[in-house]
Amino acid sequence: MRIITIYILLKTLISANSKECTTPSGDCLFPFTYRGTHKICTIVDTNIYTKPWCYLKDGGWDYCLDDCFDCGVSNDLGHSCQQQAEGSEGYFDNAVFPWHVRIINRRNKQILCNGVILTNDRVITTANCKGYYHKYGINVIAGSGTFFYIDGFQDGIIKSFVAHEGYNPQTGENNIAIIGLHDRLVWNDRVLPICLTDNYLPIQDGQSATFSGTHIFDTWSIVRYVHFSIVKVLPENIDKDCQNNDHLCTTKNSVSEGVDEGGPLTSLISTNGKECTTPSGDCLFPFTYRGTHKICTFVDTDIYPKPWCYVKNGGWDYCSDDCFDCGVSNDLGNSCKMQKAGSEGYFDNAVFPWHVRIVNINNQQVLCNGVILNNDHVLTTASCKGFYHQYGIIVYAGAGVFYYDSGYQDGYVKSFVAHEGYNPRTGENNLAIIGLRDRLVWNDRVLPICFTDDYLPIQEGQSATFSGSYIYNTGSFIPYVHFSVVKKLPEHTDRDCQKNDLFCTTKNSVSYLVNQGGPLTICQDSKRCILVGILSGINENKKFLVFTNISGHVNWIYNHI
């Protein structure tokens, strides 16, 4: 039987990491780039082990305090608990799972079980693990599976081990324990606490969650990774173990019993943090119906394209526009938090609900792209205006097909206002705003992007997610948006990269000017996508993309919507 009884159920809470971090020398600048992109303070090249640091908004750097961190918010939340493909497995280090600890035999370093950090001096694990405490003597390893401080390793000498007084080794009920540590752990990007909350528990049948465990026995210096597995909650009727009051069961994948015991199961909750109130009551997020939904969905809606949700007191109801936030999709991990430059692929508009296609009104050929700003305005390039006069255009939102059950909404064009300073020869000020005749209806496939100058411009070497069409004819069989994770290039790459309102990125496989107008986004504080650029041109010879820099045009955009 492909089941696993998960020993510890916890939730990763995003409030999210929107808090400011103030050091003795000033406020941190997030994200910053130094041997990687950092959205929280880091120990990379720290001068004082294990103390984290950040770049400052006014220049320089300084060390961070514990109150600069939030529970459950890693530097790579997309991989920590947002992967929704059930059955996925692999390995990451503690930068992805900073709350995960290994409990080892003090003498020979063999991993005996696992646990999860609750506070600076408390770890939760299984009561069953206490047998090792008496038999061998144990230590807690945090930050890394190695014993090298440079990898983030912190050792936890055991002060106490308190098992649940109701633990029943025969039935497995109340199999939980708290380990007290002799010294306090220091928070950094590899050692952080998990969040505990009962607001979103229990998780529902069919819901996916991320389990992290060891999956190996010997820790010694060559093993620095945590094994993860995306599992799905099973119905109680699968087995009698699943019917115990404090148990739940999930799919197993390749996870094996024994050494993985005590590993945490986590799930992302309340990505946008806002409540959604319907006429029948507050929405319950996440909910499961033909998939997991963290925002209201139009799946199987009775009134196209109106979204709905399950409500906390039972039943369901329709959602209004104020239930949605800009830049917050149902799958933020794939929308703008993929940090590996060079990654490419295809998703539908559920991942990029702000992306629109601008097509020839007569033959449906994709001419350029754009991004939704509000219910009746779309941002694109001024160079796209030629198609407006030459062919006549229409905006496709929600899907690249004409089927309403795919999320498609049509946007008939009311106006097309190009930037008055657009220079077709230099490409500067290559922006335009399309006004729509009818208002778009927000749902999980049609949403606005956020734009702000607080996090702009993006820095050299920083990764961002570009979305485009990559095709010419939409037809009824092409429902996908092409994405490409690119990296910002230095200004000296080319003279186009040195112009006031332009910047350049790597190209990957992005080709054809049909992609012009496609948005470039980054993740803001692990909770939403924000717009940083619009594709203005492609240099095929030197293989880079040229974007209009949104940071210099925020006021112009506000003045025209």
3-state secondary structure 122-151: EEEECHHHHHHHHHCCEEEEECCCCCCHHH
Q: Mean pLDDT check: name the lowest of 23-32, 95-104, 296-305.
A: 296-305
Higher per-residue confidence, 177 vs 146: 177
Give the per-residue pLDDT at 6: 37
Higher per-residue confidence, 48 vs 273: 48
Assess whether pLDDT exceeds 60 at residue 423.
Answer: yes
Which residues are CB-neighbours of 150 under 8 A, at least 6 positions away? none
Give the per-residue pLDDT at 31: 83
Give the per-residue pLDDT at 84: 57
Assess whether pLDDT exceeds 50 at residue 359.
Answer: yes
Q: How many residues does the chain have?
A: 561
- What is the average per-residue pLDDT within 478-487? 83
**Per residue in 69-113, pLDDT tens?**
989 989 887 788 766 577 888 888 888 999 999 998 888 888 888
Which residues are CB-neighbours of 434 under 8 A, at least 6 positions away? 358, 370, 377, 378, 379, 380, 395, 411, 413, 415, 416, 417
Residue type, 539: N
Give the per-residue pLDDT at 472: 45
Residue type, 121: D
CA 547, 552, 557, 558 dihedral sign is positive
**Per residue in 391-413, pLDDT tens?**
788 899 888 776 677 788 888 99
The highest-confidence range among 10-24, 203-217, 247-261, by mean pLDDT, is 247-261
pLDDT confidence tier of residue 18, bands split at 50, 70 and 90: very low
Q: Is the distance from CB of 327 to CB of 449 less than 8 angstroms? A: yes
Which residue, chain included where needed, has tokens 């890394």? 144
CA atoms of 517 and 510, how far apart (whole Å): 13
Assess whether pLDDT exceeds 70 at residue 415.
Answer: yes
Give the per-residue pLDDT at 33: 87
Pairing of β 100-105 and β 138-142 = antiparallel
- What is the average per-residue pLDDT within 146-160? 85
pLDDT confidence tier of residue 462, bands split at 50, 70 and 90: confident
Give the per-residue pLDDT at 2: 32
Instruction: From residue 543, give the alpha-carbon distance in Å to each of 141, 305, 421, 486.
Output: 45, 40, 27, 12
The phi, psi pair for 253, rounded to 5°, reads: 55, -135
N- to C-terminal Cα distance for the chain? 57
Assess whether pLDDT exceeds 90 at residue 151.
Answer: no
Q: Per the structure block, which two tokens stand in for 239?
A: 């087995």
Whole-model pTM above 0.75?
Answer: no
Q: Per the structure block, which two tokens stand in for 307?
A: 């979204």
The phi, psi pair for 492, rounded to 5°, reads: -75, 0
The per-residue pLDDT of the chain, averaged, comes to 83
pLDDT confidence tier of residue 548, bands split at 50, 70 and 90: very high
- What is the average per-residue pLDDT within 280-304? 85
CATH of the structural domain 1-13+70-270, one choice from 3.30.420.40, 3.40.1010.20, 2.40.10.10, 3.40.50.2300: 2.40.10.10
Assess whether pLDDT exceeds 90 at residue 436.
Answer: yes
Assess whether pLDDT exceeds 50 at residue 16.
Answer: no
CB count in 10 Å sphere of residue 486: 26
Q: Which of 478, 555, 560, 470 is nearest to 518 (CA)?
A: 470
CA 124, 125, 126, 127 dihedral sign is negative
Higher per-residue confidence, 513 vs 155: 155
Q: Mean pLDDT check: name the lowest of 160-174, 175-189, 364-378, 446-460.
A: 446-460
Question: DSSP state, 235?
Answer: P
pLDDT confidence tier of residue 338, bands split at 50, 70 and 90: low
CA atoms of 286 and 236, how far apart (whole Å): 19
Give the per-residue pLDDT at 454: 63
pLDDT confidence tier of residue 3, bands split at 50, 70 and 90: very low
The SS3 call for residue 260 is: coil
CA atoms of 310 and 296, how far apart (whole Å): 9
Q: Kindly indicate whether the domain formed by 326-560 is annotated with CATH number 1.20.120.530.
A: no
Q: What percent of the chain has pLDDT over 90?
A: 36
Assess whether pLDDT exceeds 90 at residue 159.
Answer: yes
Q: Mean pLDDT check: name the lowest of 84-88, 138-142, 160-164, 277-281.
A: 84-88
Give the per-residue pLDDT at 222: 47
Instruction: From residue 514, give the alpha-carbon distance in Å to each of 356, 517, 535.
Output: 12, 8, 10
